[in-house]
Structure 1
Amino acid sequence: MLSKMAQSVKYSLNQKILRAKSACQDFRLYDVGSYALNRLTPRTGYTLHKNIAYGLKARQCLDIFFSAKPRSQRPLIVFVHGGAWLHGDKKDYRFVGEAFAKEGYDVAIINYHLAPEYIFPSYIDDLSLALNYLTQHQLKLKIQAEQIILMGHSAGAFNIMSALYHPQPYSLKSREKIRAVVGLCGPYHFDYKDDPLCADAFDQSVSYQHVMPYYFVEPNKIKHYLFTASNDQVVAKNNAIDFDHILKKKGNHSQMISIPRTGHISILGSVSSLFSRYFQTKKQILHVLNEALDT
């Protein structure tokens, strides 16, 4: 008969497996949903330039949505998709590019290398390379990299925070131009050891205390906005609570924003032009971006 401790461990493991299965099912459903969203996303109000290489490898490419809305200073949103570092492609996020391009933002959506073939910090290396490329080639690309917003969902939110807060800080030519970081349901402080969903994305011999951005926060003037979904069953809210706490402890700006009636996947889908009127997500993001850019 199992001891109480063994029963507790078994129960905890079973719960993790159930959450992982649920998350994988959600990602599959999201593939179907994003396909439908993108098919119905308007093709007006922006120009799309696909598959711009920011590096030499196949996954090192990005799409740029150029806003058709006149604006003297066009801020640049760099969006990083989620998918537990195992899954996802920029082509699935046309609805994100359109949603913000119609508001006067240029939007770059990047691909990056995925696990299990590539593990941390490969995907952070890719993001840093993409940011430097966008900054160095802004004239050729016809973008303005003077006001940059980093935005990421789930694993992508981890990536954008890790590009700023990393055990070996990156040489980001755009660091002083980053006005805000917007993390949607990001895992900023968790133990990935044997995690059934994302263990393959990290070196299991390295402790999470040597990886998580929570442990490497440094003071700066960037505005941090940590969005959570009220019904998130994948990423625990403590990730945002802990990260908000350490950011403020270091003297940084940080604000937590909970979006009602959304889950881990639907919080991102709710920014789509098809659904944004029914949810607070896009409205709240635009509000904080205006706040950050007016500072």
Structure 2
Amino acid sequence: MLNSPNEMLKQLQKRFEQVKQHCHEFRLYDFGSYALNFITPKAAYIGKKNVAYGLRSRQRLDLYKAKKPLKGQPLIVFVHGGAWQHGDKKDYLFIGESFAREGYDVAVINYHLAPEYIFPSYIDDLALALNFLDQHQKKLKISTQNVILMGHSAGAFNVMSVVYHPHPHLVHCRNNIKAIIGIAGPYHFDYKGDPLAQDAFNQEIPYQQVMPYYFVDSNPIRHYLLLAENDQIVEAKNSIDFDHILRQHGNHSHIAIIPKTGHISIIGTLSSLFSRYFKTKRTILSFLKESLET
């Protein structure tokens, strides 16, 4: 039986809304991650997809286990960016592969997104994921004795905030965090009225009660802050301010500027296929070696 004109119109409207939503969620840099993942070799790691670290649908992680792990079996926990509103772990297979081939196990996590979820929901997710990995390390055949937190953009904020937070999280493996690597991260800015970030934070709460800059304490973690030379989205002042406050507390901090990169492209340069043309991966690997030997 043919549908009535009204039913056909409703179906078209429904389809239009689905396409509209897909376009809203899509970003230009998705082309890059799709392409990188498609051509990334799969031989360097053993993968485990969609591991549930919590009960909710976004509380999932992908695990990339190195076939030839380094001594001490270090674990990188990577958190994606996307202004706390966009992004998915599946887009970062190339990150997992790139570091797994160097001997690192890599966990790439999803977390709850704005505007439905705001700060500190996505920090709570990261703490939950870290505790899950610590609790289930034998089952997952990983180790949390040498943990490296790594994040890009909003993800860099997240990895700093899980350590420096107005209400500290109980992260069971905190004493095993050897390094935090923030790539093009915002650590000290006013989100009120910010077109990219305002939906991810309660606008009634001053940024001084949220930003990790204000909650730094003294600890042995090594901090590495990478800046994209041509970043037009996150101001360099974020990393400069954060480096300053870390040093004030007697903490280790090192800033590295990566030439010929922008806010988005800096993360793409970590792909093992293109890393030879940029300093990004070599710089991070040297930092990781330094932190694990200390």
TM-score, L = length of structure 2: 0.91
1:179 alignment counterpart = 178
Q: Pairwise mapping of residues 80-229 of structure 1 onto structure 2 (< 5 A)?
A: 80-229=79-228
Larger Rg: 2
2:228–2:258 contact (8 Å) kept in structure 1: yes
**Which letter does structure 2 place at the counterpart of 1:157?**
A
In structure 1, how many angstroms separate the alpha carbons of the residues matched to 2:98 and 2:141? 20
Give the letter for the 1:173 counterpart. H
Letter in 1 for 2:169: Y
Q: Matches of residues 277-288 of structure 1 in structure 2 within 5 Å?
A: 277-288=276-287
The separation in 2 between residues aligned to 1:170 and 1:197, in whole angstroms, is 26
- Between the aligned partners of 2:248 and 2:51, the Cα distance in structure 1 is 39
1: CA distance between counterparts of 2:251 and 2:30? 36
Which 4+ stretches in 1 moved above 2 angstroms?
none
Instruction: Find the counterpart in structure 2 of residue 7 from structure 1.
Output: none
Tell me the equivalent position of 1:258: 257
Q: Could you report, residue by residue, the CA deviation over 1:67-126 in whole angstroms, capped at 9, with x for unpaired residues? A: 011433210000000000000000000000000000000000000000000000000000
Q: Is the 8 A contact 2:216 2:245 kept in 1?
A: yes
SS in 1 for 2:162: helix
Task: Give the Cα separation in 1 of the matches to 2:262 and 2:248.
Answer: 29
What residue identity is the alignment partner of 2:36?
L
| Deviations 1:257-295, CA, capped at 9 Å, x for gaps | 000000000100001012101000000000000000000
Cα distance between partner residues in 2 of 1:78 and 1:59: 16
Unaligned runs of 5+ in 1: 1-23
Q: Within 5 A, what are the aligned runs for 1:27-106?
A: 28-106=27-105
Residue 256 of structure 2 aligns to a residue whose secondary structure is strand
Q: What letter is aligned with 2:287?
A: V
Contact 2:69–2:105, Cα closer than 8 Å, also in 1 = no
What is the alpha-carbon distance in structure 1 between the residues aligned to residue 73 and residue 62 of structure 2?
17
Unaligned runs of 5+ in 2: 1-22
**2:28 match: secondary structure:** helix
Output the CA distance in 2 between the equivalents of 1:76 and 1:157: 17
Mapped to 2, the partners of 1:52 and 1:270 lie a distance apart of 27
Report percent identity of matched pairs: 66
Q: CA deviation at 1:132?
A: 0.4
Q: In angstroms, what is the RMSD of aligned CA positions?
A: 1.2
Secondary structure, in 3 states, of the residue corresponding to 2:78?
strand
Distance 1:118 1:232 in 2: 27
**3-state DSSP of counterpart to 1:236:** coil
